[in-house]
């Protein structure tokens, strides 16, 4: 008999979803044909809902989503660590008891892929938002294929690849950390795979609800470019995103905040610079998304 695959699962909480969080955990713990090792990371709080058999880690302060994920992955590391890590938002729901088993099976079919991205859909409308489709041509959310970025909230990553890549950029706090990790994985010679037939439910929310949204997305764009792009591509990337943001952000006040974040990023703080190779630039371009957009 084939052994069940072991999956380490990292869930973050700030104790602010009293209905969604228990529902998410119930759907997770109902998964079949997989062995789960689950940790809940309280980001600045002691988790208020920890089911039996689930570990808990309490961070003294809110260190942001990517660093919280790193803390959870580290807590489950070691000789008995799972082959995969599943990062799971605590307001998402796995709609079927074999959802994770399906994701692992998809990973078996695509050994070149460091991460498997399911399709995210709103549970009430069934709509998949464009920002959840990890490619440029996002009009058809049901088309599978190789991808170069990820929707970080629900994604399955091979632990060996995650550790080689160095994990999430913890100091980003929020936004664009998935691009940073994806580009690093591609620079290791790996890829990503989008499996839209495997659906996970997540409420369709507006990311702008987060405090500091416009500042963080601008700052982290700069940090991402400085950390991962070859030097000649950095100004191209930043000019393109400055023009796109100026066209998209209608509010003058929000645009002013965005430019403040841009200036903050240009002052430094991006962390270790490990630019991708030009061969990775070519591979990403061939995959449909040159790393300047």
Q: pLDDT (tens digit, 0 to 9) for every residue of the chain, 293 residues total? A: 568 999 999 999 999 999 999 999 999 999 999 999 999 999 999 999 999 999 999 999 999 999 999 999 999 999 999 999 999 999 999 999 999 999 999 999 999 999 999 999 999 999 999 999 998 887 899 999 999 999 999 999 999 999 999 999 999 999 999 999 999 999 999 999 999 999 999 998 877 766 689 999 999 999 999 999 999 999 999 999 999 999 999 899 999 999 999 999 999 999 999 999 999 999 999 999 999 98
Kindly state whether residues 118 and 241 are assigned to the same domain: no
Residue count (the chain):
293
- CATH code of 149's domain: 3.90.550.10
Residues 137 and 14 in one domain: yes
pLDDT (0 to 100) of residue 120: 97
Please check whether residue 168 lies inside any domain of the structure.
yes
Give the integer Cα–Cα distance in Å for 119 and 129: 10
Cβ-contact 251, 258 below 8 angstroms? no
- Identify whether residues 115 and 27 lie together within a single domain: yes
Residue 261 and residue 216 in contact, taking contact as beta carbons nearer than 8 Å:
yes
Name the domain boundary from 184, 205, 226: 205
Last residue of a domain, one of 190, 205, 220: 205
Tell me whether residue 293 is in a domain.
Answer: no
pTM of the model: 0.95
Asked if 97 and 218 sit in the same domain, the reply is: no
Regarding whether 122 and 224 lie in a shared domain, the answer is no
The reply to whether 119 and 257 lie within a common domain is no
Is residue 150 in a domain?
yes
Same domain for 53 and 119: yes
Residue 18 lies in a domain: yes
Structural domain including 263 reads 209-286
pLDDT of residue 211: 66
Q: Are residues 125 and 88 in the same domain?
A: yes
Measured distance CA(128)–CA(121) in Å, rounded:
4
pLDDT the model gives residue 206: 75
pLDDT of residue 142: 95
292 assigned to some structural domain: no
- The pLDDT of residue 210 is 66
Total tally of structural domains belonging to the chain: 2
């Amino acid at each position: 008999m084939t052994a069940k695959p072991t999956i380490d699962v990292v869930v973050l909480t700030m104790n602010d979803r009293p209905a969604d969080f228990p529902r998410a955990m119930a759907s997770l713990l109902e998964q079949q044909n997989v062995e789960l090792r689950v940790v809940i990371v309280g980001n600045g709080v002691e988790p208020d809902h920890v089911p039996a058999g689930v570990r808990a880690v309490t961070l003294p302060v809110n260190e942001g989503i990517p660093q919280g994920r790193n803390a959870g992955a580290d807590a489950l590391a070691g000789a008995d660590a799972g082959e995969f890590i599943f990062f799971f938002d605590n307001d998402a729901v796995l709609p079927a008891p074999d959802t994770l088993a399906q994701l692992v099976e998809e990973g078996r079919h695509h050994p070149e892929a460091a991460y498997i991205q399911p399709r995210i859909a709103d549970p009430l409308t069934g709509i998949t938002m464009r920002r959840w489709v990890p490619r440029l041509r996002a009009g058809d959310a049901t088309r599978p294929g190789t991808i170069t970025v990820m929707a970080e909230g629900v994604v399955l990553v091979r632990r060996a690849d995650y550790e080689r890549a160095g994990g999430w950029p913890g100091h980003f706090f929020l936004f664009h950390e998935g691009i940073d990790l994806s580009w690093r994985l591609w620079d290791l010679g790996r890829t990503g795979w989008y499996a839209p037939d495997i659906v996970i439910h997540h409420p369709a929310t507006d990311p702008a609800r987060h405090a500091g949204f416009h500042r963080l997305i601008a700052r982290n764009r700069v940090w991402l470019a400085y950390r991962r792009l070859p030097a000649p591509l950095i100004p191209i990337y930043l000019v393109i995103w400055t023009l796109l943001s100026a066209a998209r952000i209608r509010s003058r006040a929000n645009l002013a905040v965005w430019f403040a974040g841009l200036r903050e990023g240009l002052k430094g703080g991006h962390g270790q610079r490990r630019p991708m190779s030009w061969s990775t630039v070519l591979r990403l371009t061939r995959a449909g998304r040159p790393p300047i957009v």
